[in-house]
Structures are given as C-alpha cells and as structure tokens.
C-alpha cells in the first residue's frame, strides 16, 4: 500500500489541518465540491475541514439512505446548522432499497450500496451541481481492510482500481486517508466540532445494512433500528469503543403468552478496541445483559431471543456483514 500512515504520536493536528485545507482549496480552485455527511467522526471532520477550506464552494448533503439510526438525519443537520454549515438532506431511500432487493451475500450487499452511493446518487448530484470533486473521510483502516480482502469498505474506490473520473465523472479527495480513528478524533476536536461528534462511536457508511444478516428490507431495518436505539441507550455509559445490535436471518422457537412463537433473534456486540483493527468483547455486567434482553424482547416486535457475542476480532469482525 502506497499511502503513508501518520501515527497518532507524530500527528500535529494544527499543521495537519492547515496543510489539508490548503491542499483542498488548491485542488478545487474556483470550482465546486460536494461531500456527504453521515455524522460519523470521519465525515464530520472532512465536512469541517472542507468548509474551512472552501466556504460556499462546498455543498454538503446528508444522504437519507433509509439505513440510518432513529432521528439521525435531523439531529446531524441541526448540529451542523449550529456550527454554521448548511446541510441538505437528500432522500435516496428508494434507490438503496431497490438495489438491495433480493441480495443476501454480504459482499454483494456492500457492492450494491457502493454503486448507489457513487454512481447513482453522487453521479447525479455532480451532474446537477457541476461539481468536479467529491470529498470523503476514508481512513487508513478502511483501506487496509479492503486491500487485505477482509471487507469491501463502502468508500474504497481507487485502491480497488476504480477510476472515479472515468466511471462517475468526478475526482475523489480523501484528506484523512493517512489517519486512523484516534487521529481523526484529535483532528475533529481541533476543528472545534462538539464532543457529541468527536467522541461518537464509529458507525459504518453502509449503516444498519451491515447489521442485517440476509435481505435488507425497510421492515428488517426497522427492527434492527429499534434494537439499536435500546443498545445505545443501555451501553453509552460503558466507555466501550462501539456497541451494536444485529438482526439474524434464522428464526428460533420462542414462547409468547403461553403459545409457540417462531421469532427473530437479535445479537448484541460491545467492543473494546483502539482502532477497530482488533477488538475484544466488553465484559458487561450480567445485570446490563439482563436488561438488554428484557427490553429488546418486549420493545422490539417479533424478537424472542437475544444473544451477546463473546468473540474477539479476529476471528470475528466488528460488524456482522
């Protein structure tokens, strides 16, 4: 891999920000750039960096792909409005669900999401806005895992031999590609983003689709969304690196109101990790696990079984697909 990692000990955030802002403004020159903000620390840092570099030559979108968490689009748009950065919500739910229809293979699902993001949604935006650049928050771990063939991270293009200029009509700028998550958090803090953003647990670009095993339909996403809200409420005070709910494809026999209920299974994961490269399950107190099981089986329709993942990464990965 040609990209040179900047390890956190060598990262001087002030000069990094200055350098990257200059690079972005030189590349875009007097043209226009677009970027998609999901509210994760990576895309938030890129949004602020590019806003600093380009001002109104940057147009930021929140792509509503139907795969985000409860209330997320509105919350993120509000937070950035407070910071003086206008963000437009673009409703692309239909495009994403149409592309995911019938797919069950993890890499096929990831490919479909990449295609809709880059070819359909951004391709269209670029045509309409005449922007020549797309800015995005690809980080060093994303590249490393994709190149190693572990997972095709949704935002990796060039390293897979995709020429975005030729295929989609725009160039991609990735100012954070030399940093890992911990470095990006430092940069985000120095860009004066609020703590809610710079200390946010990571959330993947393909969003809740990485947590639905089997077909990703609006109904199945809604189930995992409800379980996610509960997991985040119950585990946000653990200080863990990341915590999530996964909807399984297999059903299991349960009992409800004294009758057989062939219901759904939710798996909870909670990770200790520094940079997502490796991880271990948090040793959650049994009372917390009990509460999770109780809430998920009563508040999420159709769920009769809740499990907790006790596997390290590797051999597990953090997300399920």
Could you give the dihedral angle defined by the CA atoms of residues 66, 70, 72 and 75, in that order, rounded to the nearest 10 degrees?
140
When asked if residue 143 is in the footprint of ligand XMP (CB under 6 A), the reply is: no
Measured from the Cβ of residue 98, the count of other Cβ atoms closer than 10 Å reads: 11
Closer residue to ligand XMP, CB minimum distance, 164 or 242: 242
> How many Å apart are CA 100 and CA 206, to the nearest integer?
11
Q: How far is CA 143 from CA 16, 28, 116, 174, in A?
A: 20, 24, 20, 11
Give least dist CB 107 to ligand XMP, A. Answer: 11
Note whether 312 binds ligand XMP by CB under 6 A. no
Candidates 109, 151, 180, 226: give the one binding ligand XMP (CB under 6 A).
Answer: 151
Binding ligand XMP by CB under 6 A: which of 13, 159, 238, 317?
317
User: Of 242, 265, 297, 305, which lies in the binding site for ligand XMP, with binding defined by CB under 6 A?
Assistant: 242
> Which of the residues 65 through 84 are near ligand XMP (CB under 6 A)?
none
Nearest-approach distance from CB 204 to ligand XMP, in angstroms: 3
Does position 319 bind ligand XMP by CB under 6 A? yes
Nearer to ligand XMP, 39 or 206 (CB): 206
Q: CA–CA separation, 118 vs 138, rounded Å? A: 14
Tell whether residue 154 is a contact of ligand XMP (CB under 6 A): yes
Q: Identify the sign of the CA torsion 78, 239, 187, 184.
A: negative
C-alpha span between 20 and 298 (Å, rounded): 49
Would you count residue 313 as binding ligand XMP (CB under 6 A)?
yes
What angle do the packed helices 218-235 and 286-299 form, to 10 degrees? 150
164 binds ligand XMP (CB under 6 A): no
Question: What is the footprint of ligand XMP within residues 202-221 (CB under 6 A)?
Answer: 202, 204-206, 210
What's the burial of 211, exposed, middle or buried (CB within 10 Å: 0-12/13-18/19+)? buried
Would you say 212 and 220 are in contact if contact means Cβ atoms under 8 Å apart? yes
Least distance (Å) between residue 275 CB and ligand XMP: 9
**Residue count at the site for ligand XMP (CB under 6 A)?**
17
CA distances in angstroms from 35 to 57, 132, 137, listed in the order given: 11, 11, 9
Check residue 281 for interaction with ligand XMP (CB under 6 A).
no
| Shorter beta-carbon distance to ligand XMP: residue 123 or 204 | 204
Q: Does 44 engage in binding with ligand XMP (CB under 6 A)?
A: no
Q: Per CB under 6 A, does 106 bind ligand XMP?
A: no
Choice from 153, 228, 265, 282 touching ligand XMP (CB under 6 A): 153
Can you tell me whether residue 117 is helix, strand or coil?
helix
The site for ligand XMP (CB under 6 A) is made up of 142, 145, 151, 153-155, 202, 204-206, 210, 242, 276, 313, 317-319
């Amino acid at each position: 891999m040609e990209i040179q990692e900047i390890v956190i000990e060598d990262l001087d955030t002030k000069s990094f920000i200055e350098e990257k802002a200059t690079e972005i403004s030189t590349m875009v020159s007097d043209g226009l750039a677009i970027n998609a903000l999901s509210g994760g620390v990576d895309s938030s840092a890129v949004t602020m960096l590019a806003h600093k570099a380009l001002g109104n030559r940057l147009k930021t979108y929140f792509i509503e792909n139907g795969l985000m968490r409860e209330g997320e689009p509105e919350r993120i748009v509000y937070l950035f409005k407070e910071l003086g950065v206008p963000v437009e919500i673009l409703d692309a739910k239909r495009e994403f669900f149409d592309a995911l229809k019938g797919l069950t293979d993890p890499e096929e699902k990831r490919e479909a999401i990449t295609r809709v993001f880059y070819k359909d949604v951004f391709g269209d935006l670029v045509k309409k806005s005449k922007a020549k650049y797309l800015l995005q928050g690809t980080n060093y771990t994303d590249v490393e895992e994709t190149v190693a063939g572990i997972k095709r991270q949704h935002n990796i293009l060039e390293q897979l031999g995709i020429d975005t200029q030729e295929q989609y009509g725009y160039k991609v700028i990735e100012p954070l590609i030399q940093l890992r998550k911990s470095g990006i958090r430092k940069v985000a803090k120095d860009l004066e983003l609020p703590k809610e953003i710079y200390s946010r647990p990571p959330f993947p670009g393909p969003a809740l689709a990485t947590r639905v095993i089997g077909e990703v339909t609006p109904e199945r996403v809604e189930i995992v969304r409800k379980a996610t809200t509960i997991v985040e409420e119950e585990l946000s005070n653990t200080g863990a690196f990341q915590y999530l709910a996964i909807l399984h494809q297999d059903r299991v026999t349960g009992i409800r109101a004294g009758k057989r209920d062939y219901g759904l299974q939710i798996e909870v994961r909670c990770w200790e990790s520094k940079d997502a490269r490796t991880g271990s399950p948090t040793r959650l107190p049994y009372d917390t696990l009990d509460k999770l099981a109780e809430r998920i089986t009563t508040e999420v329709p159709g769920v009769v079984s809740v499990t907790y993942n006790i596997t390290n990464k590797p051999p597990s990965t953090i997300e399920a697909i």
